[in-house]
Amino acid sequence: MPTVMILYGFRFYFYSNEESRKHIHIQQHHRRAKIWLDTLEFASNDGFPEHDLFKIKRLVRKHEEKFKKAWKAHFG
- At 15 the pLDDT is 87
pLDDT averaged per 10 residues in sequence order, the chain, 76 residues: 92 87 95 96 97 97 95 87
C-beta neighbour count of 15 within 10 angstroms: 11
**Burial class (CB within 10 angstroms; exposed 0-12, middle 13-18, buried 19+) of 12:** buried
- At 66 the pLDDT is 95
* Count of domains forming the chain: 1
Contact (CB, 8 A) for 64 and 37: yes
Kindly give, in sequence order, each residue whose CB lies less than 8 Å from that of residue 71, ignoring residues fewer than 6 positions away. Answer: 14, 22, 24, 37
Instruction: Tell me if residue 43 falls in helix, strand or coil.
Output: strand
- At 54 the pLDDT is 97
Domain that includes residue 71, residue range: 3-75
